[in-house]
């Protein structure tokens, strides 16, 4: 414990000093303790959430949980019990944690991979003993392809090309992983040809690279940074209604965030160069599900500040403005924002519609 505390103190103490204690108050108090009792970012507490996310995160390797369990029972030692506890502890702890995110339980995954390796080394030497497993992967791949065809039909109704491209690439990744990755794992486990593994890895890598490209293309902070371009020295930046910290990352500037969209007018009246990002509309996954079930009218945004934004644009006519829409990964939502920029001390620039 002393050794671990010493390692943590090497960066923890400087963090406390640099942030004047905010690291403990906000970093630990809010983002560790409070997240355990309150659900953040409008999420819902879903019982069994990590059973699903662990299956996806460890796919296809969690498909061999049964042989791992059999090997664990027949080879119960101090080492194997330690690995089992290592894997199970995050699952148990975060099952009761209010805010749920897939990466919370990932520290336990290395233990499962070690247990899988041990089971692998002791698997049956008879390839025909597990041939039915290959048939199961073929069946699963077929189900995925049929489901993909159904989702494809639904996506043709999505008018926004950026959103459609993002949905296509997001669908492609699990399709490739389930079909190619699952089949490769089954064939290797049954001591068959290994070339399919290389093909599966290449296809999965290509699909993930495409998804990453689409995510960046639909990222609002990236688009905001591109539209801002070279900023004058001393320009103040404000996020009104749209308060994502990634704006800081992509612009390399300090931002002032507020949930009050109407505050944009006050910021634009301040002296000096200024840029304001206003949230216009936002569609959330939760509202989309409610639209499907009929609990609310389908297609309606969860937040709509269009009237305030339009009034601000009308009042500040002549300032540079940009309409931006894209995917908000932090809230898993689709949003529209308006960027209003004044690059001089007071005289408005020509309107620069993108």
Residue 338: name the closest of 220, 230, 193 by CA: 220
pLDDT digits (tens, 9 = 90+) for 182-235: 666 666 666 666 677 777 788 888 988 998 999 899 999 999 999 999 888 889
> How far apart are the C-alpha atoms of 47 and 97, rounded to whole Å?
10
Q: Average pLDDT, whole number, for the chain?
A: 81
> How far apart are the C-alpha atoms of 276 and 256, rounded to whole Å?
10
Whole-prediction pTM value?
0.65
Residue 275: name the closest of 225, 325, 336, 330 by CA: 225
Q: Domain limits of the chain?
A: 1-38, 43-123, 128-218, 220-342
Beta-bridge partner residues of 333: 284, 328
Q: Which of the listed ranges 22-26, 87-91, 126-130, 286-290 does the model predict with the highest average pLDDT?
A: 87-91
pLDDT of res. 144? 65
Per-residue pLDDT for 345 more than 80?
A: no
Q: Which of the listed ranges 157-166, 247-256, 290-299 does the model predict with the highest average pLDDT?
A: 247-256
Residue 276: name the closest of 285, 265, 287, 290 by CA: 265
Between 238 and 179, where is the model more confident?
Answer: 238
Contact 251, 235 (CB under 8 A): no
3-state SS, the chain, equals CHHHHHHHHHHHHHHHHHCCCHHHHHHHHHHHHHHHHCCCCCCCCCCCHHHHHHHHHCCCHHHHHHHHHHHHHHCCCHHHHHHHHHHHHHHHHHHCCCCCCHHHHHHHHHHHHHHHHHHHHCCCCCHHHHHHHHHHHHHHHHHHHHHHHHHHHHHCCCCCHHHHHHHHHHHHHHHHHHHHHHHHHHHHHCCCCCHHHHHHHHHHHHHHHHHHHHHHHCEHHHHHHHHHCCCCCCCEEEEEECCCCHHHHHHCCCEEEECCHHHHHHHHCCCCCEEEEEEEEEEEHHHHHHHHHCCCCCCCCCEECHHHHHHHHHHCCCCEEEEEEEEECCCCEEEEEEEEEECCCCCCCCCCCC
Per-residue pLDDT for 159 more than 70?
A: no
pLDDT of res. 347? 46
pLDDT of res. 121? 85
> How far apart are the C-alpha atoms of 117 and 2, rounded to whole Å?
32
| Burial readout 1-19 (b: 16 or more C-beta within 10 A, e: otherwise) | eeeeeeeeeeeeeeebeee
> How far apart are the C-alpha atoms of 109 and 68, rounded to whole Å?
13
3-state SS, 318-351, equals CCEEEEEEEEECCCCEEEEEEEEEECCCCCCCCC
């Amino acid at each position: 414990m002393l050794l671990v505390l010493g390692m943590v103190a090497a960066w923890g103490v400087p963090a406390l000093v640099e942030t004047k204690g905010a690291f403990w108050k906000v970093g630990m108090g809010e983002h560790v303790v409070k997240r355990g009792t309150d659900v953040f970012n409008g999420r819902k507490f879903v019982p069994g959430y990590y059973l699903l996310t662990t299956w996806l995160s460890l796919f296809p390797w969690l498909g061999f949980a049964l042989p791992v369990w059999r090997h664990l029972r027949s080879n119960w030692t101090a080492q194997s019990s330690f690995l089992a506890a290592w894997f199970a502890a995050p699952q148990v702890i975060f099952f009761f944690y209010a805010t749920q995110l897939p990466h919370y339980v990932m520290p336990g995954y290395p233990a499962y991979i070690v247990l899988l390796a041990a089971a692998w080394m002791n698997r049956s030497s008879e390839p025909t003993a597990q041939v039915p497993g290959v048939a199961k992967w073929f069946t699963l791949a077929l189900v995925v392809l049929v489901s993909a065809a159904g989702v494809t039909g639904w996506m043709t109704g999505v008018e926004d090309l950026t959103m459609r491209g993002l949905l296509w690439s997001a669908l492609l990744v699990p399709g490739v992983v389930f079909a190619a990755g699952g089949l490769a794992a089954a064939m290797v486990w049954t001591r068959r040809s290994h070339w399919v593994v290389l093909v599966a890895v290449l296809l999965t890598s290509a699909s993930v690279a495409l998804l990453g490209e689409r995510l960046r293309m639909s990222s609002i902070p990236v688009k905001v940074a591109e539209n801002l371009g070279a900023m004058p020295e001393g320009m103040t930046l404000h996020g009104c209604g749209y308060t994502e910290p990634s704006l800081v990352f992509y612009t390399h500037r300090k931002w002032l965030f507020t949930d009050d969209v109407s505050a944009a007018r006050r910021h634009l009246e301040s002296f000096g160069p200024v840029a304001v990002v206003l949230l216009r509309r936002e569609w959330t996954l939760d509202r989309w599900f409610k639209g499907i079930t009929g609990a609310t009218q389908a297609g309606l945004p969860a937040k709509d500040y269009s009237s305030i934004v339009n009034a601000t644009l009308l009042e500040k006519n002549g300032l540079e403005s940009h309409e931006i829409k894209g995917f908000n990964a932090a809230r898993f939502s689709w949003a529209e924002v308006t960027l209003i920029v004044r690059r001089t001390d007071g005289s408005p620039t020509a309107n620069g519609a993108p």
